[in-house]
């Protein structure tokens, strides 16, 4: 059995917080007409790239022995589905009921039954307004797709899957350099989306640390951190590339190198982290899915209270950073509470054993 890697828990926590801070820029600007965080964390969307690489690493690292072992297919699919869907469905139901009962803002206008089914099943789609749903769920569609690909690798023999797998990866690379003739096909764009390459990077990282040992392991970490700093510096406000470079390259590759270096180091030494850091990594899924809902709600409540009792606070350049920090902190804390009170008990019931987040 693979040992738990504390460095990965650290990175899962960091990735979730980065996404929270990125969305804080957007949500607070929309609801309160001020950012409050001075757009410092506009690059926080790179947490999604980090998550994808981490996911590829974790799945391959844990399940590489299951490849071509068809007897493990059912177990893998069941475990992955239980990990993603039930908790997501609960939050989705809460979000939809909240939108219908409280906001009544016409958010569901134009959303038909088939689009709703696609949202529930995390099927890729185009043109659906995600406002009444969970906005970050678009990333889960890629997770589910990656799990489906990996499950096929478990079910089939190498002589069956190696060629299609190679064609798929080559197709993604060709799409990355804008030479794949996809046209306007939503399905092809999803299948060969460059984000899928980050899962491949994660699998490659897991293969490297499982089969090779390198000297100067910490140099991998220093190199990755230097590359990430360079990418952050060159990421413009509200831009989703890095000086014209795809985030898959600018962030995906450094994150891959960082994971390889960190795991190589941790395989040789015991990495002791505070229990709070490990906990934050375990709670990352709950934080990731709930922070938008909590942040929107808290910001709206603050806006109504301030407008009624202290309207001057809404224009204060001194108060707003404090308010923004408090809203972010409360959103993260509430996400942790949901992890303890909903996600963990749910996993325990579904698996009929103590819940573990992987």
Dump pLDDT digits (tens) for 93-116. 998 888 777 656 556 666 778 888
Mean pLDDT for the chain? 90
Check residue 99 and give its pLDDT.
77
Check residue 310 and give its pLDDT.
85
Judge whether 186 lies within some domain: yes
pLDDT band of 129, cuts 50, 70, 90: low
Helix (H, G, I), strand (E, B) or coil at 242: strand
> Among 3-7, 56-60, 84-88, 123-127, whose mean pLDDT is lowest?
123-127
* Of the candidates 198, 194, 266, the residue with the CA atom closest to the CA atom of residue 54: 198
pLDDT band of 183, cuts 50, 70, 90: confident
Q: Calculate mean pLDDT across residues 212-218.
A: 80
pLDDT band of 216, cuts 50, 70, 90: confident
Helix (H, G, I), strand (E, B) or coil at 131: coil
pLDDT at 38 over 80: no
Check residue 1 and give its pLDDT.
47
Domain that holds residue 196: 6-351
Q: Calculate mean pLDDT across residues 1-17.
A: 88
pLDDT digits 0-9 by tens, 275-319: 999 999 999 999 999 999 999 999 999 999 988 888 887 777 788
Helix (H, G, I), strand (E, B) or coil at 245: strand
Judge whether 1 lies within some domain: no
- Which ranges in the chain belong to alpha helices (H)? 6-32, 46-63, 73-98, 113-121, 137-155, 158-176, 186-191, 195-211, 217-233, 247, 253-268, 275-282, 284-309, 319-338, 344-351
Check residue 132 and give its pLDDT.
66
Check residue 353 and give its pLDDT.
59
pLDDT at 248 over 50: yes
Radius of gyration, CA atoms only, the chain: 21
Check residue 126 and give its pLDDT.
66
pTM strictly above 0.85: yes
Judge whether 302 lies within some domain: yes
Q: In the chain, pLDDT over 90 holds for what percent of residues?
A: 67
State the Cα–Cα distance between residues 47 and 31, nearest whole angstrom: 23
- Count of domains in the chain? 1
Check residue 294 and give its pLDDT.
95
Judge whether 20 lies within some domain: yes
Task: Answer with the residue of higher pLDDT: 56 or 241.
Answer: 56
């Amino acid at each position: 059995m693979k040992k738990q890697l504390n460095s990965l828990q650290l990175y899962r926590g960091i990735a979730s917080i980065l996404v929270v801070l990125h969305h804080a820029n957007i949500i607070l600007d929309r609801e309160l007409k001020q950012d409050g965080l001075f757009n410092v964390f506009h690059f926080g969307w790179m947490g999604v790239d980090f998550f994808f690489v981490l996911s590829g690493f974790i799945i391959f690292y844990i399940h590489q022995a299951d490849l071509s072992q068809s007897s493990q297919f059912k177990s893998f699919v069941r475990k992955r589905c239980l990990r993603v869907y039930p908790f997501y469905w609960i939050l989705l139901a809460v979000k939809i009921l909240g939108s219908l009962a409280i906001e009544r803002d016409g958010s569901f206008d134009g959303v038909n039954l088939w689009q709703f089914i696609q949202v529930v099943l995390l099927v890729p789609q185009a043109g659906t307004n995600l406002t009444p749903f969970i906005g970050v769920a678009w990333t889960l569609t890629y997770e589910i797709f990656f799990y489906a690909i990996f499950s096929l690798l478990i079910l089939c023999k190498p002589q069956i899957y190696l060629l299609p797998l190679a064609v798929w990866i080559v197709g993604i690379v060709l799409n990355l350099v804008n030479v794949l003739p996809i046209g306007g096909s939503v399905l092809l764009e999803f299948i060969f989306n460059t984000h899928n390459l980050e899962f491949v990077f994660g699998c490659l990282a897991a293969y490297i640390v499982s089969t090779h040992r390198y000297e100067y392991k910490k140099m991998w970490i220093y190199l990755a951190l230097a590359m990430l700093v360079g990418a952050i510096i060159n990421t413009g406000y509200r831009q989703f590339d890095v000086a014209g470079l795809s985030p898959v390259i600018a962030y995906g590759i450094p994150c891959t190198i960082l994971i390889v270096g960190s795991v190589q180091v941790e395989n040789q030494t015991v990495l002791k982290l505070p229990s709070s850091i490990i906990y934050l990594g375990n709670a990352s899924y709950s934080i990731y899915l709930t922070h938008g809902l909590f942040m929107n709600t808290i910001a709206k409540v603050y806006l109504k209270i301030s407008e009624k009792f202290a309207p001057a606070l809404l224009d204060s350049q001194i108060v707003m950073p404090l308010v923004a920090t408090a809203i972010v902190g409360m959103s993260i804390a509430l996400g942790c509470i949901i992890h303890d009170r909903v996600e963990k008990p749910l996993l325990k019931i579904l698996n009929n054993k103590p819940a573990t987040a992987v």
